[in-house]
Amino acid sequence: MEQMEEVTLLMHDYYSGFDEYEAMIISDTKSLKKLYSKINMTRKPGLPVPVVDFSTEQVIVLCLGKQHGDNTPILSKSEETEEHLSLAVSLTSENKDNQVDTLPISYPFYVYKMPVTFKKIDFKKVNW
């Protein structure tokens, strides 16, 4: 698997409002604002919506669901053809001990931008 250099992290926070894992591609401002309205539902003031030029970029959103401790996703290309791009999502953990009871619980999300592609993109969870 090849780590993706063309992907840039725009925002990360520890509460997304999504209870389960979800990965999505957003390619317009309206959809991005709709996502942030859900993320900001319990925040006053809310997190700012990132400014993205959707004519040249698209957004990848990873909502990790319920997590114990500080887990960070890593995006990698697992397969690429002319019509299809498969991205592997793996987690790295900063947790040194395995005492799950003492680790904080979070529902983190990560917002990335990448150049626009017209390939069909899917996500595969690896080593979760």
Q: What is the tens place of the pLDDT at every residue in 19-78?
A: 999 999 999 999 999 999 999 998 888 999 999 999 999 999 999 999 988 888 999 998
Closest residue by Cα to residue 36 from 16, 51, 54, 22: 16
d(CA 42, CA 23): 21
pLDDT at 102 over 80: no
pLDDT of res. 127: 80
Mean pLDDT of 113-118: 94
Contact 42, 57 (CB under 8 A): no
> What pLDDT score does 104 carry?
84
The yes-or-no verdict on residue 2 having pLDDT over 60 is no
Domain, as residue range, for 102: 2-126
**CB half-sphere exposure, 53, CA atoms < 13 A:** 3
Number of domains in the chain: 1
